[in-house]
Amino acid sequence: MLVTDLHHLIDLPQDTPGPARRLAEHLSNIVKAATAGDAGTAWESALPCRRRPANRACPGRMIVLHTEPRAPIRWRCSACDDAGVISNWEDSAFDLRRRQLTVAGAANEIVIPNEVAAALRDLRLLDTECERLVFRVRAHHNGAVLAATDDDLDELIGSVAAEANHEPNRRRRQRLDAAFDALNDAAADGR
């Protein structure tokens, strides 16, 4: 079991080795997923497991649980024995909890490929609402499920398009374009 204090992962120095940086990103994504979902309920996020048993990617997804503020976030892989707790996550940049009550609209559930879910998690210019939407994506046997209202989906599609239009890296732009197309097709099918 990996026991982590999130304060140790904030503001890593520039010379931090790659494996430590990737672990910090993985754990911060777990905090985002746990705080984007409902409190008190363990759920299987679309976040892939980072382990590679026998040099093959683990097929598992992260099951996350946060029960209440000040309590550690618990996580485990759905397939292997990777598990842990993360403390001191409250009010960090990775805490996506709602700060006020909002009225929930009717949400459409859209099945997206895992590659699209990964591209959405990689977006850099999201507001908190869109980031919460992206990290609330749940695992599904055909990929991942994005639950969004029509307005939230339109805003997310706009964010993906804006970032793709300004992306200089050809491969990342292609991933963002594929995500845009998948979301646009899903939005058109759902309306």
Residue-wise pLDDT for 56-114, tens only, equals: 999 999 999 988 878 999 999 999 989 999 999 998 889 998 766 555 555 788 889 99
> Three-state SS for 74?
strand
Residues sharing a CB contact under 8 Å with residue 146, sequence separation 6 or more, in sequence order: 109, 110, 111, 112, 117, 120, 133, 137, 153, 183, 186
Task: Indicate the pTM of the whole model.
Answer: 0.86
Q: What is the mean pLDDT of residues 154-169?
A: 94
- pLDDT for residue 27 is more than 60: yes
Q: DSSP class of residue 68?
A: S
Task: Give me the pLDDT at residue 106, please.
Answer: 58
Residue 144: CB atoms within 10 Å: 22
Higher per-residue pLDDT: 188 or 84: 84
Tokens of 137: 């994506």
Residue-wise pLDDT for 116-152, tens only, equals: 999 999 998 888 889 999 999 999 998 899 988 888 8
- Residue 110 pairs with which residues in a beta bridge? 146
Is the CB of residue 89 less than 8 Å from the CB of residue 73? Answer: yes
Task: Give me the pLDDT at residue 188, please.
Answer: 82
Q: Where are the domains of the chain?
A: 2-87, 108-190
- pLDDT for residue 187 is more than 90: no
- Residue 87 pairs with which residues in a beta bridge? 5
Q: What is the mean pLDDT of residues 6-31?
A: 91
